[in-house]
């Protein structure tokens, strides 16, 4: 058994949310740089230059990359040999977010209730998914997810006869309908299989994967590449203003499913998809 | 590059063409979902708006808090489509320019054609960069809305692209 104090967790999460919101992940930055080289539309090149300069300014000035500093999704891998001391794990994560968003001058974007809609004032609560794993480590992946991209995600319950073509058509439909709203160039997270909530979780999890790392299953890696080419041929472009850069990557994750099911969820990440891993 | 600066007349608006890059200067009002809801409620109740909309510019933004020594925190555009339900009433009151990101619906575009207004797209997700183009910020109304309060901003060299012009040409419909 290994003890980790709630205070230690809060501190680490607090520092991590500030870093996540001000420092664009290197893989995303590199993908944007590559897109800028390959882009042919002058307006899109100009906007990509501004996006890349924005990442530099954010780091230098410790300013949030985007004013939408998101509602935080925390993906927790908790070693079953870990004992959290001095408070609950979820409370510790929320306390870290509270401190980080205050100290980092980050926007508080969470309301207390979908109908009442009163700002909670500290960007909590987070959305926390906990998985028990072997070992005595605690690993928390934080994704401060903006609403511009989150609002454009969709889920559908296809039936098996729709097959892979049905899945492809749905991905394209979602990206087309999202158009310029999710702040392209986007990362397209796709979850296929499981059931309704599993597909949605897979799609979110797909956004945590590094850009440039394909699915380890060759046939899915091929499908990811095929979908990326198709999406970049749609002409939506940077910020929806046209051009050949609509997506930086398509990440597909799958799970076993029911004999009668073919659920598909698409969760979109913006060009400023921010994520950070806390390891304790 | 053309400069867009309030107050703007209908003639000024007619000179702006879809697809051209422009720089916004001077006063813009910052408002998003909750402030729009309040303004439209005020109009419907026959009350005055917190500012005179005639000839003015609204920027759809809810900024981050200002760090010490800064005028404003990160301040890029939010998705404009969520303001579509409110925009026509403000355009009827003389609003000339909206700044945001993403497409607009046909009701807004028709209203823009009828009254002479343009929609400019700023770079979504470039909040740190755009904050550097904002030189002054003060709360005008609804401080209780926090990040959604109505602000009066002053901007310099604020880069945008004309996304929808007053003839109804729409960059998103190409």
Residuewise pLDDT in 10s, chain A (280 residues): 999 999 999 999 999 999 999 999 999 999 999 999 999 899 899 999 999 999 999 999 999 999 999 999 999 999 999 999 999 999 999 999 999 999 999 999 999 999 999 999 999 999 999 999 999 999 999 999 999 999 999 999 999 999 999 999 999 999 999 999 999 999 999 999 999 999 999 999 999 999 989 999 999 999 999 999 999 999 999 999 999 999 999 999 999 999 999 999 999 999 999 999 999 9
Torsion over CA: B13, B17, B18, B24 (sign): negative
Tell me how crowded residue A62 is: count the other CB atoms within 10 A of its CB. Answer: 16
Prior bond to A185 cis, omega within 30? yes
- Write out pLDDT tens, residues B7-18: 999 999 999 999
Would you state the pLDDT for residue A207? 98
A139 touches chain B (CB under 8 A): no
Q: Is the pLDDT of residue B155 over 80?
A: yes
Integer angstrom CA distances of residue A252 from A157, A158, A236, B72, B79: 16, 16, 21, 39, 26
| Residues A106 and A123 grouped into a single domain | yes
Structure tokens at A196: 């309704």
| Residues A114 and A242 grouped into a single domain | no
**Interface probe, candidates A18, A67, A175, A180, chain B, greatest B C-beta count within 10 A:** A67
Q: Is the pLDDT of residue B174 over 90?
A: no
pTM: 0.94
**Interface probe, candidates A54, A55, A149, chain B, greatest B C-beta count within 10 A:** A54
Question: Among candidates A66, A73, A56, which has minimal Cα distance to B127?
Answer: A66
Q: Which of A119, A151, A239 sits opposite B123 (nearest CB)?
A: A239
Could you tell me the fold of the domain covering B2-169?
A: fumarase (3.20.130)
Q: Which of residues 203-262 of A touch B (CB under 8 A)?
A: 235, 239-242
Number of domains in chain A: 2
Does A260 map to a domain? yes
**Interface probe, candidates B38, B64, B145, chain A, greatest A C-beta count within 10 A:** B64
Question: Among candidates A41, A49, A143, A246, which has minimal Cα distance to B129?
Answer: A49
| Residues A154 and A136 grouped into a single domain | no
Report the share of chain B in percent with pLDDT over 70. 100
Q: Which of B124, B128, B147 sits opposite A108 (nearest CB)?
A: B147
| Residues A171 and A91 grouped into a single domain | no
β-partners of residue A252 are A190
Helix runs in chain A, H state only: 6-22, 26-38, 42-61, 89-103, 147-150, 163-178, 196-206, 218-232
**Mean per-residue pLDDT over chain B, rounded:** 96
**What is the C-alpha separation between A161 and B75, in angstroms, rounded?**
47
Does A181 map to a domain? yes
Domain endpoint, select from A118, A145, A172: A145
ipTM: 0.92
Domain endpoint, select from A102, A117, A145: A145
Q: Which of residues 44-83 of B touch A (CB under 8 A)?
A: 61-67, 70, 73-76, 78-79, 81
A50 touches chain B (CB under 8 A): yes
Cβ contact, residue pair A240, B63, below 8 Å? no
Q: What are the backbone angles phi and psi of residue A257, rounded to the nearest 5°? A: -140, 180
In chain B, where are the structural domains located? 2-169
Cβ contact, residue pair A67, B73, below 8 Å? yes
Q: Is the pLDDT of residue B39 over 80?
A: yes
Does A110 map to a domain? yes
Does A40 map to a domain? no
Is residue A225 left, alpha or beta, with left meaning phi > 0 and alpha meaning psi from -120 to 50? alpha
| Residues A117 and A215 grouped into a single domain | no
Residues of A in contact with B36 (CB under 8 A): none
Contact B93, B104 (CB under 8 A): no
| Residues A85 and A166 grouped into a single domain | no
Does A82 map to a domain? yes
- Chain B, nearest residue to A237 by Cα: B172
Cβ contact, residue pair A64, B64, below 8 Å? yes
- Write out pLDDT tens, residues B93-139: 999 999 999 999 999 999 999 999 999 999 999 999 999 999 999 99
**What is the C-alpha separation between A94 and A100, in angstroms, rounded?**
10
| Residues A174 and A140 grouped into a single domain | no
| Residues A7 and A127 grouped into a single domain | yes
Tell me which residue range forms the domain holding A227. Answer: 148-273
Closest approach of B167 to chain A, Cα-based (Å):
18
Domain endpoint, select from A95, A126, A145: A145
Q: Which of B123, B132, B159 sits opposite A57 (nearest CB)?
A: B132
**What is the C-alpha separation between B101 and B148, in angstroms, rounded?**
17
| Residues A99 and A12 grouped into a single domain | yes
Adjacency order of strands within the sheet including A71-79: A127-133, A71-79, A138-145, A276-279
The residues, ordered by sequence, that sit 6+ positions from A9 with a Cβ below 8 Å of its Cβ are: A84, A89, A92, A93, A96, A138, A140, A280
Closest approach of B15 to chain A, Cα-based (Å):
20
| Residues A9 and A141 grouped into a single domain | yes
- Write out pLDDT tens, residues B67-100: 999 999 999 999 999 999 999 999 999 999 999 9
- DSSP label of A213: -
Residues of B in contact with A36 (CB under 8 A): none
Number of H helices and E strands in chain B, helices first, is 5, 7
The residues, ordered by sequence, that sit 6+ positions from B170 with a Cβ below 8 Å of its Cβ are: B18, B103, B104, B109, B163, B164
Does A261 map to a domain? yes
| Residues A141 and A165 grouped into a single domain | no
Does A210 map to a domain? yes
Contact A263, A193 (CB under 8 A): yes
Q: Is the pLDDT of residue B24 over 80?
A: yes
| Residues A175 and A243 grouped into a single domain | yes
């Amino acid at each position: 058994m290994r003890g980790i104090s709630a205070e230690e967790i809060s501190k680490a999460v607090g520092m991590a949310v500030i870093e996540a919101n001000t420092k664009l992940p290197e893989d995303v930055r590199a993908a944007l740089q590559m897109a800028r080289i390959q882009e042919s539309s002058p307006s899109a090149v100009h906007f990509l230059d501004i996006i890349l300069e924005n990442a530099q300014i954010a780091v230098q000035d410790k300013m949030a990359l985007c004013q939408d500093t998101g509602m935080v999704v925390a993906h927790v891998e908790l070693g079953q040999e870990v004992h959290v001391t001095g408070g609950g794990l979820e409370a510790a994560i929320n306390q870290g977010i509270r401190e980080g968003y205050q100290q980092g001058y980050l926007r508080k974007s969470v309301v207390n209730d979908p109908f009442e809609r009163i700002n909670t004032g500290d960007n909590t609560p987070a959305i926390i998914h906990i998985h028990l794993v072997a070992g005595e480590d605690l690993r928390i992946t934080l994704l401060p997810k903006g609403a511009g991209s989150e609002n454009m995600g969709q889920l559908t319950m296809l039936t098996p006869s729709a097959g892979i073509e049905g899945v492809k058509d749905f991905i394209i439909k979602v990206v087309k309908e999202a158009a310029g709203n999710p702040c392209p160039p986007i990362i397209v997270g796709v979850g296929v299989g499981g059931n309704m909530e599993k597909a949605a979780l897979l799609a979110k999890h797909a956004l945590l994967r590094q850009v440039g790392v394909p699915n380890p299953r060759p046939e899915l890696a091929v499908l990811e590449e095929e979908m990326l080419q198709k999406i970049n041929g749609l002409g939506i472009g940077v910020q929806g203003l046209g051009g050949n850069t609509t997506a930086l990557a398509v990440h597909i994750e799958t799970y076993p499913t029911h004999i009668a099911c073919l659920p598909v969820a698409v969760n979109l990440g913006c060009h400023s998809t921010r994520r950070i891993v806390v390891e304790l | 590059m053309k400069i867009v600066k309030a107050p703007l007349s209908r003639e000024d608006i007619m000179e702006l063409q879809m697809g051209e890059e422009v720089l916004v200067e001077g006063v813009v009002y910052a408002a998003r979902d909750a402030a729009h809801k309040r303004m439209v409620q005020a109009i419907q109740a026959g009350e005055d708006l917190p500012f005179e909309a005639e000839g003015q510019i609204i920027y759809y933004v809810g900024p981050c808090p200002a760090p010490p020594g800064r005028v404003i925190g990160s301040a890029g555009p939010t998705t404009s489509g969520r303001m579509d339900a409110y925009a026509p009433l403000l355009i009827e009151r003389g609003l000339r320019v909206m700044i945001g990101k993403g497409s607009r619906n046909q009701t807004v575009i028709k209203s823009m054609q009828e009254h002479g207004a343009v929609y400019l797209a700023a770079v979504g997700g470039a909040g740190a960069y755009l904050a550097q183009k904002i030189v002054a910020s003060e709360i005008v109304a609804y401080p209780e809305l926090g990040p959604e309060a109505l602000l009066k901003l002053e901007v310099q060299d604020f880069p945008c692209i004309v996304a929808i012009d007053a003839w109804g040409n729409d960059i998103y419909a190409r």
